[in-house]
């Protein structure tokens, strides 16, 4: 009997060793840095590259478990390459989500060739992250449009494929699920002060996505696009809007977000201002 117990303890010990790196056995909090709207090459942001370098240094000093960049990386291929070169200095794993300056209504393949999939999932300890291409959920080509333009037929097909993928995602046992995309779903009261549909998602795409997020029990989404740090709740989901590192269309401060995610999935967001000369 004593030999049996010793053998059983040995087996349990070996199983624990084998799964020591498993996210399902980890209950510690994690930290994720969120960059957004870096806009390298934007004429209104002549210091965008230097600001991004400074942000990388500040993020490394905080030693997060992961870094996400929630879109509007750069204005062309050359600026994408420059951004990637600067971001190679990050010491934590980096995950990209596309913005409307990165993916337009007919060129998602160009983005995929540079950065890989525009929608996918990744795991950081006990947290499952879903990266969503919000540019497949609306047409943001025309800034001045007073009503949401439709998606071209080929992009509409891409949109349906992504929503089908999203619908079939499930968290791992013991894992919480958080989404990442560029464009918020709706204005935060009177912000942005510009009411054009360019700044938010529109139906039917918004309703389709929200319905799926509810079914997946997603409680928090990390977004950008507004260049302004905010956290607001809509449809039972907390929308964590990261600031820009590039330029400020409506005031505020440049910077990035630090998200602390507790074992129970509670997300606490700290805005970190970026010192600028």
DSSP assignment of 177-226: EEEE-SS-SS-BTTBSS--SGGGS--TTHHHHHHHHHHHTT--EEEE-SS
Q: Residues 106, 71: contact at Cβ < 8 Å?
A: no
**Amino acid 229: pLDDT:** 98
pLDDT tens profile 165-206: 999 999 888 889 999 999 999 999 999 999 999 999 999 999
Q: For residue 136, what are the CA distances in angstroms to 71, 100, 141, 157, 245? A: 13, 10, 12, 9, 24
Q: Is the pLDDT reported for residue 163 higher than 70?
A: yes
Closest CA to 152 of 165, 166, 135, 164: 135
Q: Which two tokens stand for residue 99?
A: 């913005």
DSSP labels for 142-163? -TT-SSPPPPPHHHHHHHHHHH
Q: Give how far Cα 259 sits from Cα of 91, 115, 182, 268, Å.
A: 17, 23, 16, 6
The residues spanned by each domain of the chain are 26-273
Which residues, other chains included, contact 136 with Cβ-Cβ below 8 Å and sequence gap of 6+? Answer: 103, 108, 118, 119, 151, 155, 158, 159, 162
Model pTM? Answer: 0.90
Report pLDDT digits (tens) over 222-260: 999 999 999 999 999 999 999 999 999 999 999 999 999
Question: What mean pLDDT is predicted for residues 68-73?
Answer: 98
Task: Work out the percent of the chain whose per-residue pLDDT is above 70.
Answer: 90
**pLDDT(276) > 80:** no
Query: 28 pLDDT band (50/70/90 cuts)?
Result: confident
Take residue 143 and report the two structure tokens written for it: 């800034």
Q: How far apart are CA 241 and CA 16, in angstroms?
A: 38
Q: Which CATH number fits domain 26-273: 3.60.21.10, 3.30.70.100, 3.10.20.30, 3.40.50.1820?
A: 3.60.21.10
């Amino acid at each position: 009997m004593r030999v049996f117990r010793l053998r059983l303890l040995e087996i349990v010990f070996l199983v624990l060793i084998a799964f020591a790196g498993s996210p399902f056995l980890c209950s510690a909090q994690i930290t994720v840095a969120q960059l957004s709207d870096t806009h390298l090459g934007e004429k209104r942001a002549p210091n965008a590259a230097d600001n991004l370098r400074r942000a990388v240094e500040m993020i490394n000093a905080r030693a997060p478990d992961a870094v996400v960049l929630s879109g509007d990386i750069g204005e062309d291929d050359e600026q994408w390459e420059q951004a990637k070169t600067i971001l190679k200095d990050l010491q934590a794993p980096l995950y990209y989500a596309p913005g409307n300056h990165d993916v337009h209504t007919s060129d998602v393949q160009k983005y995929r060739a540079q950065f890989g999939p525009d929608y996918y999932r990744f795991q950081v300890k006990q947290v499952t992250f879903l990266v969503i291409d919000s540019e497949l959920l609306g047409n943001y080509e025309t800034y001045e449009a007073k009503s949401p333009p439709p998606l071209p037929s080929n992009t509409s097909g891409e949109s349906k494929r992504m929503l089908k993928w999203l619908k079939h995602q499930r968290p791992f046992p013991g894992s919480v699920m958080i989404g990442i995309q560029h464009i918020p779903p709706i204005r935060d009261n009177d912000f942005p002060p510009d009411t054009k549909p360019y700044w938010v998602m529109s139906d039917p795409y918004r309703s389709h996505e929200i319905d799926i997020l509810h079914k997946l029990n997603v409680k928090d989404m990390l977004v950008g696009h507004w260049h302004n740090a905010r956290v607001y709740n809509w449809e039972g989901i907390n929308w964590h809007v990261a600031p820009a590192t590039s330029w400020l269309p409506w005031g505020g401060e440049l910077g990035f977000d630090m998200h602390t995610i507790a074992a129970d999935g509670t997300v606490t967001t700290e805005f970190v201002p970026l010192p600028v000369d």
